[in-house]
Amino acid sequence: MMKPLEQLVRKNIWSLAPYSSARDEYSGKEAHVFLDANENPYNEPYNRYPDPLQRELKSALKKVKGVPEENIFLGNGSDEAIDLAYRVFCNPGRDNVVSIAPTYGMYQVCADINDIEFRQVLLDDNYEMHADQLLAACDDHTKIIWICSPNNPTGNSLNRDEILKVINGFEGIVIVDEAYIDFAQQLSLRQELATHPNLIILQTMSKAWGSAAIRLGMAFASKDIINIYNKVKYPYNVNQLTQQQAMVMLKDPFEIDKYVKILLAERGRLMSAFQDLPICEQVYKTDANFFLAKMTDAQAIYDYLVDKGIIVRNRTRVQLCHNCLRVTIGNRSENNELLSALRQY
């Protein structure tokens, strides 16, 4: 059972009176003379402040994601939603969070910035998570559990029943980062939102949607959590150009299915070619647009590739990833270039 939200949210945030912008106070459509926001009447269409709550965009996202607008937060990348979680829930110097490890580095960086203890629970040798271990790492001051599925840098989806065990067994907030869900066989947890008020799901336009440059991240959660996120965020956190370009992408959501299909086919081809390389010892199963491969000597192979102008991610110093390279799936010619370089190593 989740603790009451009031007990989980920092006291100062719970009682915070948010900044009220001109656009918050008047957002009707009928008016035609806007002299309320100290904007410049010239230089259209860039002269006006954007919608602080991105209503048009959320309405388009609702259709694609099947999540009501009131359950959507949009931010400057998922990174904003990650940082906000600390600022909303965690008292610096007092609270802690629990996370799987290895995983995405931003959870720890934001914990460190906000002076929050970061407790790591190692995955097992198959990169699987065990709910009871995560729950055992929690105490009265644990506000958040971080789960990433499909996980970065390991690539695998975590067991859905184990994730649900964590959500059901924890009194605080569980954040499941689904940045790679569009590539996955595993279903999103979006349908679980209505029945799990302590769940926050993160998604992004940076990966399958091919829009890393525009910086648009999403958090799906209860209306109460979204309302608190909205009062803590910068008033105009998602700029107009980003909102416009996201609308363009959302007009044709089936385009994304094409990207995904091609990338998954290329992933299969690249992974089996890696399996045949004498310098590759193991290719790990993946549900994302990248895979992890254990090499004979990750550092030397990484340096060799850099020398040829080909950059992969060296994860050899990450826990449980000794001698591993993380390879993002590129287009056919990029993937071929990588393979021919490795065959000549």
Is residue 204 involved in binding ligand PLP (CB under 6 A)?
yes
DSSP 151-173: -TTT-PPPPHHHHHHHHHH-SSE
Which CB atom, from 102 or from 172, has the smaller least distance to ligand PLP? 102
Give the separation between CA 343 and CA 292, rounded to whole angstroms.
18
Give the separation between CA 183 and CA 295, rounded to whole angstroms.
25
Is residue 212 involved in binding ligand PLP (CB under 6 A)?
yes
Give the separation between CA 44 and CA 328, rounded to whole angstroms.
40
- The amino acid at residue 31 is A
SS3 at position 46: coil
Which CB atom, from 89 or from 209, has the smaller least distance to ligand PLP? 209
Residue numbers 102-141 binding ligand PLP by CB under 6 A? 104
CB of 99 to ligand PLP, least distance (A): 11
Is residue 198 involved in binding ligand PLP (CB under 6 A)?
no
Give the helix/strand (H/E) hosting 200.
strand 199-204
Among 78, 96, 149, 211, binds ligand PLP (CB under 6 A): 78
Give the separation between CA 137 and CA 117, rounded to whole angstroms.
12
Among 179, 201, 312, 324, binds ligand PLP (CB under 6 A): 179
Residue numbers 243-282 binding ligand PLP by CB under 6 A? none
Please choose, out of 5-13, 71-79, 278-286, 328-336, the segment that lies near ligand PLP by the rule CB under 6 A: 71-79
Taking Cα atoms as reference points, which of 207, 192, 139, 128 lies closest to residue 170? Answer: 139
Give the separation between CA 225 and CA 70, rounded to whole angstroms.
10
Site string for ligand PLP, 304-323 (x = CB under 6 A): --------------------
Among 152, 198, 237, 243, binds ligand PLP (CB under 6 A): 152
Residues contributing to the site for ligand PLP (CB under 6 A): 77-79, 104, 148, 152, 177, 179, 204, 206-207, 212, 217
